[in-house]
Amino acid sequence: MITRYAHNCDLYYKVFSIPKSSGRSRRWICAPSRELKGLQRWIVRYVLNPIQLHDAATGYRRRLSIVDNAKCHVDREFVANVDIRDFFPSISTPRVFGMFRSLGYCDDVAWILSRLCTYRGRLPQGAPSSPGITNVICRRLDARLSAYCDLYDWSYSRYSDDITVSGDGPLGQALRIMTKIISAEGFAINPRKTRVSRRGASQQVTGLIVNAAVALPRNKRKLIRAMFYRAKIGHPDAPSDSALSGHLALLTMINPDDPAIEGYRQVLAARQSE
């Protein structure tokens, strides 16, 4: 069965698009069939999860979150955000094959594993195995960028395709050198999403404020407040219970002493008891 999927894996995907958060374009999702997804989850559990990753890689890892990714960048003179362009599809099947070979698998096994985890020659966004594969492939990238930042006592972290560097002192040619390192590792940056924020301006890391402490942006707090208000009054456009739970968990994780949390919990409990 596994060999059959490996030879015909492209037939076992459903492809659709969703709007990006910017609203300007759409993101293509390649969702594997239930059976193929099961095989990919097996690969995640028994092949990818045991691999030691770089400490700077904080995305798609158990017990780590966007808060952990942001903590090391609090109260810095500058925060530089760099986005890797087309992160998942920029990783080809031969590159995934090479990754499995580097883990010690023979050619035949590495070929099967790489075929099971790719779609039309690329790493699909939507497969449960894709995030773990990117973290393994990016180990050398993380090591090189982290070592470069250590020279200046800067902090470095990567959450999926979001790279953040922060510290004190002038940046100088750092972004140009980092771009060269990223290019040498087989990736390209998205210049439109490259941003440097100085102290005194709003400094954000993976959507969180890091100027003085890790915090939710004001517009995000207002959005959460509006969502729970709609839920409280029974508005037809109120979010689902799962969406409310997710936002409540995020708020609790970032600011557990927020006085609004108890009220939000009561709203959610009342909805769930209906």
- Check residue 59 and give its pLDDT: 96
Do 28 and 89 share a domain, yes or no?
yes
| Residue 76 domain boundaries | 2-209
Separation of alpha carbons 76 and 81, rounded Å: 13
How many domains are there within the chain?
Answer: 2
CB 88, CB 173: distance < 8 Å: no
271 pLDDT band (50/70/90 cuts)? confident
CA distances from residue 121 to 11, 75, 96, 202, 266 in whole angstroms, order as listed: 13, 42, 10, 40, 49
Kindly state the average pLDDT of the residues 7-12.
87
Q: Confidence band (pLDDT; 50, 70, 90) for 27?
A: confident
Q: Is residue 75 domain-shared with residue 169, that is, in the same domain?
A: yes
Q: Are residues 234 and 135 in the same domain?
A: no
Asked if pLDDT for residue 23 goes beyond 70, the answer is: no
Domain boundary among 185, 209, 233: 209
Residues of the chain with pLDDT > 70, as a percent, come to 98
Last residue of a domain, one of 209, 242, 258: 209
Please check whether residues 139 and 267 belong to one and the same domain.
Answer: no
- Residue 22: its pLDDT value, please? 61
Q: Is the dihedral of CA 56, 124, 182, 210 positive or negative?
A: negative
Q: Are 88 and 7 contained in the same domain?
A: yes
Pair (203, 225) in one structural domain = no
- Mean pLDDT value across residues 40-51: 98
Average pLDDT over residues 35-45: 97
Q: Do 184 and 264 fall into the same domain?
A: no
Does one domain contain both 119 and 235?
Answer: no
Residues 136-190 have pLDDT tens digits of: 999 999 999 999 999 999 999 999 999 999 999 899 899 999 999 999 999 999 9
More confidently predicted of 274 and 13: 13
The 10s digit of each residue's pLDDT in 86-125 is 999 999 999 999 999 999 999 999 999 999 999 999 999 9
pLDDT of residue 25: 76
Q: What does the mean pLDDT of the chain come to?
A: 94
Helices (H) then strands (E): counts for the chain:
11, 8
What does the pLDDT read at residue 8? 85
Do 124 and 78 belong together in one domain?
yes
pLDDT over 80 at 69, yes or no? yes
Domain boundary among 161, 188, 209: 209
| Whether residue 68 is found in the same domain as residue 147 | yes
- Identify whether residues 45 and 153 lie together within a single domain: yes
At residue 200, what is the residue type? G
Specify the pairing of strand 208-209 against strand 204-205.
antiparallel
